[in-house]
Amino acid sequence: MDLRKELPQIFDEFAEARRNGFIAAKNLKEKNVPMVGTFCTYMPQELPLAFGAAVVSLCATSDETIQEAEADLPKNLCPLIKSSYGFGKTDKCPFFYFSDIVVGETTCDGKKKMYEYLGEFKDVHVMELPNSQATKEGFDLWKSEIIKLKGILEKKFDVEIKEEDIRKAIKLKNDERKALKNMYEIGKLNPPAMTGMDILKVLYGSTFKFDKNDTIKEVNELAQRVKKEYEQGRRLDPKPRIVVTGCPIGGVTEKVVKAIEENGAYVVAFENCMGAKAIDKLVDETNEDVYDALAEKYLSIGCSCMTPNPNRIDLLGRMIDEYQADGVIDVILQACHTYAVETLSIKRFVNGEKEIPYMSIETDYSQSDIGQLNTRMTAFIEML
């Protein structure tokens, strides 16, 4: 068996999951399966999963509709927001088209204001997310918003969301998180067993697979296979090891990962929303109050829209140690003020406390900065 040839094919199948998901979504709609669209990691997916709905990520990752979006929104807005709005406006995203309701949260200012316009052509519900994780008032607000969302979904789809079904959904989502974590933690191996691009393909692709049990099985089998082949000697060459943090990446922003890996280093871990930020912490299955358990998990997400935001530092610090990082790259999407402002504290932490090099890069959804990305990555990696 040609081991090197077969694993890349499996990774590529994950990369194709978004496109294949269009047909899967259509099939689900033909069977009248409710579909809930989300834009953010804060959305408690367990609630729609509890009554058998499909959940799909609508965060758009290409520049295809940005021009259309700019007819309504300011040009100097984060590309993720413009692209997401543009796909909704132009109906070019089948996932958006098939979503019966879109659930957003009051995260960053641009996103929450964009939802007001999105609501003109789609059923949108916005959850009120507190600005801080540190207060009881914030926790109580978020818990009440989760309970409110349950009511909104029950009314919209004429269903009853039972507590026992939420428990089952919590277990299922946790099993998915464990499978993905088990896969991406292979990045701790030194020398690495897989590239950052391969890890990203699985993380990104699995968000577009609707059958969670299948996804768990596939990801577990893949991880087992990668580990086995590693033991048999299938290893990558030792190179500097990078942890990526910052804004969500995937789709066109894979260009950053490519620029790192084509210029002499490997991405061994992703701290951002496509990676550990969403997956690292499980929902407590032993908590008697399912809403407390959900509020606790989701409110602890270390997003820069929180102030203060110690959980990002905690997770990043752990990852730097566990993945033996030689450097950290902080990816900032253009005009993302919260992540841009936070670069200073992340730089201080990485340089000062962890004593390894740090670089932040600002990018958008165009291809115009690829030359510049390559130049900056080469200089950074040479320094490691």
Positions that interact with ligand SF4 (CB under 6 A): 40-42, 78, 80-81, 107-108, 110-111, 247-248, 273, 301, 303, 305, 333, 336, 338-339
DSSP 148-172: HHHHHHHHHHT----HHHHHHHHHH
Closest CB to ligand SF4 among 195 and 253? 253
Smallest separation (angstroms) from ligand SF4 to the CB of 43: 9
Q: Confirm if 252 and 314 have CB atoms less than 8 A apart.
A: no
> Could you give the C-alpha distances from 71 to 9, 11, 85, 130, in angstroms and in order?
40, 37, 11, 31
Q: Confirm if 244 and 268 have CB atoms less than 8 A apart.
A: no
Closest CB to ligand SF4 among 41 and 206? 41
Smallest separation (angstroms) from ligand SF4 to the CB of 113: 11
Closest CB to ligand SF4 among 326 and 369? 369
What are the phi and psi torsion angles at 330 (to 5°)? -105, 115
DSSP SS3 for 38: strand
Hey, what amino acid is at 308? P
**Which residue has tokens 């950290």?**
328
DSSP letter at 285 equals T
Closest CB to ligand SF4 among 43 and 193? 43
Smallest separation (angstroms) from ligand SF4 to the CB of 333: 4
Structure tokens at 282: 């499980």
Residues 6+ apart with CB under 8 A from 289: none
Q: Confirm if 281 and 231 have CB atoms less than 8 A apart.
A: no
Closest CB to ligand SF4 among 225 and 337? 337
Residue closest to 350 by CA, chosen among 332, 333, 327: 327
Smallest separation (angstroms) from ligand SF4 to the CB of 47: 17
Residue closest to 339 by CA, chosen among 241, 244, 205, 261: 244
Smallest separation (angstroms) from ligand SF4 to the CB of 55: 14
Closest CB to ligand SF4 among 41 and 360? 41
Closest CB to ligand SF4 among 215 and 245? 245
Closest CB to ligand SF4 among 11 and 184? 184
DSSP letter at 334 equals T
Which run of H or of E encompasses 243? Answer: strand 241-246
Which run of H or of E encompasses 96? Answer: helix 94-98
Smallest separation (angstroms) from ligand SF4 to the CB of 59: 6
Smallest separation (angstroms) from ligand SF4 to the CB of 273: 3
Q: Counting beta carbons within 10 angstroms of the beta carbon of residue 112, is it exposed (0 to 12), middle (13 to 18) or buried (19 or more)? A: middle
Smallest separation (angstroms) from ligand SF4 to the CB of 189: 27
